[in-house]
Each structure stands twice: as structure tokens, then as C-alpha cells.
Structure 1
Amino acid sequence: MSTYAVTGAASGMGRAVADKLAAGGHTVITVDIAEATVRADLSTPAGRRAAATAVLERCGGRLDGAVLAAGLGPAPGRDRPRLIAEVNYFGVVDLLEAWRPALAAADAAKVVVFSSNSSSTVPMVPGRAVRGFLEGDIERVLRTLRVFGKQAPTFAYAASKIAISRWVRRTAVTKEWAGAGIRLNAIAPGAVLTPLLEQQLATPAEAKQIRRFPVPIGGFGDPGQLADWVVFMLSDAADFLCGSVVFVDGGSDAWFRADDWPRGVPARRLRGYLRRMKEFRAAP
């Protein structure tokens, strides 16, 4: 049996994943702000360091996989954009960078990061905020988002999910990750009936907006079904899956972007594409 770390394991999809892994006989080290093996506040650098260290101590320096499901939604609040940024992006990157040696110590470790279909369905997300995330500059992110006023949490959430998806794709194919036998991928759920969504549906104004959002198959996702996808992405069947963002959202992403993806390499990027091919062939 394997040892996995699961963040955001106290509720919602994270809890469903942790329960299914435990039911399969695996050792699960849960991480959350409450009701977890490791209790930590991922919205602070100190909390993230504490979580990373505690998991490494409990796993003995070897992790067969990790699921990064902790995240905050776009609720109202002046400090919400910072909290979203800290948890949704840095709460993934900081932990995975700390855990990478333990993942590399395992045989074909698998990592699944929770993204969201907000990464492809929210319009006008500022590229400057996304770049701020990827450059590790949270203050730049927050300065960029201030112009959105009360809508800042919505754009903070979407920007964090775009950034973490790009981080996954950039990082997954590197020598330190793919070359070390680690398979790093992301899952992008749509509207899943978690306690957070139930709370939003209890507010008439929010419920109206949620129900108007296009979901071609109708209804909402089930946390258990999303957990099944994650368990598959952690299995040996996913050995050839690397740097992918898997949308499990009832068709919303396809509805909005039917003709946007896949897309060939544009001519203006051909030189960079060929350079990277050359670098890959020359790598030891």
C-alpha cells in the first residue's frame, strides 16, 4: 500500500479523496486547518512550512503521491483576494517544492493538483495577475486586482487557478519532476455539490447566477465521482499522464472553448518551439 498526503481533506472533494484512498488501504496524511492529521493554516508562509515539515516527518521522507485540494472560493471580503492567493497558489507550490525530494524517493509518484474550470471560463482575467503568481510576487497580484473592487475575489480566484494550471504544466515536464519519475497533473472541476456550493445556493442572488452558468449535461458534479477521477490519476494506469489539466465539469469548458483547444504551434512561436526541442534532445 502507498502513502499519500491530501490537503483540504476536512471537507468537500478533498475529504472524498482522502476517504477513498483510506478505504483502499492506503496511508493518508491529511492536511487542513481543522480535523486533520496535520493541522495547519496554509494562508501563511509559516503555516505552509509547518505543514510541509509535519508531513515529511510522518511519511519518513517518502511519499507515493499527493493531492492538493485545499482552496478558497471567491467569497466577499476585503482580505479575501490575499487569502485566495496564499492558499490556492502558494499553498500548492510551497508544499510541493518542499515535498519533491520525498516524492522523488518513491517509485513513480503521482501528484494531482486541484485547478478549476474558472481557469478557462472567467473572462477578462488580467494577465499581469497571473504573471505575478508565477513570479512569486503576491503584492503585484493584489495591486493588479484592486481595480476590480468588490469583484476582486472572483478575479483572484480565476487568476490563481490559471496560474496554478500553468505552473503544473511548466513544472511537470522538467528533469526535476518528470525526470525523477514524478507524474504531476491537475484536475479542473466545474460546479461540484460541496458544502461551499451548497452555501452559495442558499443565497438567492448567488443561486440564480450559478444556475444560469452553462453546464451542457445539466446539474452539479458529485464529490465522490471527482474523487474517483483523482484516484485514477494516482494509479499505475496514469503512468503516461504528465502535465495534463483534466476538465471534469459537465461540458462547460468545451461549451465556452470548443474551437480554442487543441491548437497548433503558431508561427510566431516556432523559433522557441524548435529551441526547446533542441534543448530536450541535448539533455542528459
Structure 2
Amino acid sequence: MSTYAVTGAASGMGRAVADQLRTAGHTVIDVDIVESTVTADLSTPAGRRSAATEVLERADGRLDGAVMAAGLGPAPGRDRPRLIAEVNYFGVVDLLEAWRPALAAADRAKVVVFASNSSTTVPVVPGRAVRGFLDGDLEKVLRTLRPFGKQAPTFAYAASKVAISRWVRRTAVTRGWAGAGIRLNAIAPGAVLTPLLDKQLATPAEAKQIKRFPVPIGGYGDADQLADWVVFMLSDSADFLCGSVVFVDGGSDAWFRADDWPRPVPALRLRSYLSRMRAFRR
């Protein structure tokens, strides 16, 4: 049996994943702000350092995989953009960078990061905020979002999910990850029935907006079914899965961008790709 770290394991999809892994006989080191084996506040650098260290101690320096399900949605609040940024992006990147040696010590470790279909379905996401995330510059992110006022949490959420998806894609194929045998991928759910969505549906204005959103097959996702996908992405059957962002959203992403993906490699960028390939092989 294997040892997995699961963040956001106290509720929603994170809890469903942790439950399934435990039922299958695996050891789960669950991380959350409440009711967890490792209790930590991922919205602070100190909390992230504490979580990273304690998980490594409990795993004895070896992790067979990790599931990064902790996240905050776009609720109102002046400080909400900062909290979203800290948890949704830095709460993934900081922990995974700290855990990378433990993942490399395992045989064919698998990591699944929770992205979102908001990364492709929210319009006018500020590119400067996305670049701020990827540069590790929280203040740049917050300065970019400030002019959006009450809409700042929505754009903070979408930008964090765009950025973490790109981080996964960029990082997964590097020598330190793919070259070390670690499979790093992301799952991008749509609207899934969790306590967060229940709370949004209980608010008339938010419920109206959610119900108007196009979901071609209708309805909402089920947390246990999303957990099935994650468990598959952690399995031996996913050995050839690397750097993928898997959309499980009832067709919303396809509805918005049926012709936007896939696209062939632009000829002007081919030299850059070949250079990266040679660097990886070295």
C-alpha cells in the first residue's frame, strides 16, 4: 500500500478522495485548517512551512503521491483576493516544491492538482495577475486585482486557477519532475456539489448566476465521482499521463472553446521547444 498527502481533506472533493484512498488500504496524511491529521493554515507562509514539514515527518521522507485539493472560492470580502491567492496557488506550489524530494524517492509517484474550468470559462482574466502568480509575486497579483473592486475575488480565483494550471504544465515536463519519475497532472472540475456550492446556491444572486452557466449535460458534478477520477490519476494506469489538465465539467469547457484546442505547435516557437528538449535530455 502507498502513502499519500491530501490537502483540503476535511470536506468536499478532498474528503471524498481521502476516504476512497483509505478504503483502498492506503495511508493518507490529510491536511486542512480543521479536523485533520496535519492542521495548518495554508493562507500563510508559516502555515505552509508547517504543513510541508509535518507531512514529510509523518511520511518518513517518502510520498507515493499527493492530491492538492485545498482551495477557496470567490466569496465577498476585502481580504478575499489575498486568501484565494495564498491558498489556491502558493498553497499548492510551496508544498509540492517542499515535497518533491520525497516524491522522487518513491517509485512512479503521482500528483494531482485541483485546477478548475474557471481557467478557461471566465472572460477577461488579467494576464498581469497570472504572470504575478508564476513569478511568485503576491503583491503584483493583488495590485493588479485591486481596481476590479467587488469583482476582485472572482478574478483572483480564475487567475489563480489559470496560473496553477500553467505551473503544472510547465513543471511536469522538467527533469526535476518527469525526469525523476514523478507524474504531475491537474484535474479541472466544473460545478460540483460540495459545501461550497451548496452555500452559493443558497444565495439567490449567486444561485441565479450559477444556474445560467452552460453545462451541456445539465446538473452538477458529484464529489465521489470526481474522487474516482483522481484515484485513477494516482493509479498505475496513469503512468503515461504527464502534464495533462483533465476537464471533468459536464462539457462547459468544450461549449466555450470547441475550436480553441488543440492547436499545433507554432513554427516560430519550434526552436525554443527543441532547445528545451535538449536541456531535458542532458
Q: TM-score range, shorter-chain basis?
A: over 0.9
Q: 1:3-22 residue pairs with structure 2 within 5 A? A: 3-22=3-22
**TM-score, normalised with respect to structure 2:** 0.99
Q: 1:39-58 residue pairs with structure 2 within 5 A? A: 39-58=39-58
Q: Which residue of 2 aligns with 1:214?
A: 214
Deviations 1:199-227 (A, max 9, x none): 00011111000000000000000000000
Q: Are 2:156 and 1:156 equivalent residues in the alignment?
A: yes
Q: 1:76-225 residue pairs with structure 2 within 5 A? A: 76-225=76-225
Deviation at 1:147, TM superposition (A): 1.1
Distance 1:9 1:101 in 2: 23
> Structure 1 counterpart of 2:182, which letter?
I
Deviations 1:23-69 (A, max 9, x none): 00000000000000000000000000000000001010000000000
> Structure 2 counterpart of 1:6, which letter?
V
Deviations 1:121-163 (A, max 9, x none): 0000011100000000000000000111100000000000000
> Structure 2 counterpart of 1:14, which letter?
G
Distance 2:215 2:269 in 1: 34
> Structure 2 counterpart of 1:57, which letter?
E
Q: Which residue of 2 aligns with 1:263?
A: 263
Distance 2:279 2:28 in 1: 38
What is the DSSP-based 3-state SS (H/G/I as helix, E as strand, rest coil) of the residue aligned with 2:151? helix
What is the DSSP-based 3-state SS (H/G/I as helix, E as strand, rest coil) of the residue aligned with 1:66? strand
Q: CA RMSD in A?
A: 0.8
Distance 2:273 2:48 in 1: 36
Q: 1:267-282 residue pairs with structure 2 within 5 A? A: 267-280=267-280
What is the DSSP-based 3-state SS (H/G/I as helix, E as strand, rest coil) of the residue aligned with 1:113? strand
> Structure 1 counterpart of 2:9, which letter?
A
Distance 1:174 1:274 in 2: 14
Q: Are 2:79 and 1:75 equivalent residues in the alignment?
A: no
Distance 1:200 1:29 in 2: 29
Distance 1:57 1:12 in 2: 26
Distance 1:274 1:231 in 2: 34
Deviation at 1:272, TM superposition (A): 1.8
Distance 1:58 1:273 in 2: 39
Deviation at 1:278, TM superposition (A): 4.0
Distance 1:276 1:56 in 2: 31
Q: Which residue of 1 aligns with 2:241?
A: 241
What is the DSSP-based 3-state SS (H/G/I as helix, E as strand, rest coil) of the residue aligned with 2:192? coil
Could you tell me which runs of 5 or more consecutive residues in structure 1 were left unpaired when the two chains were aligned: none
Deviation at 1:265, TM superposition (A): 1.4
* Shift in alpha-carbon separation, 1:90–1:202, aligned structure 2, 3 A: same
Q: Are 2:42 and 1:32 equivalent residues in the alignment?
A: no
Distance 1:236 1:176 in 2: 20
What is the DSSP-based 3-state SS (H/G/I as helix, E as strand, rest coil) of the residue aligned with 2:75? coil
**TM-score, normalised with respect to structure 1:** 0.98
What is the DSSP-based 3-state SS (H/G/I as helix, E as strand, rest coil) of the residue aligned with 2:187? strand
> Structure 1 counterpart of 2:236, which letter?
D
Could you tell me which runs of 5 or more consecutive residues in structure 2 were left unpaired when the two chains were aligned: none
Distance 1:157 1:49 in 2: 23
> Structure 1 counterpart of 2:211, which letter?
R
Q: Which residue of 2 aligns with 1:251?
A: 251
Q: Are 2:6 and 1:2 equivalent residues in the alignment?
A: no
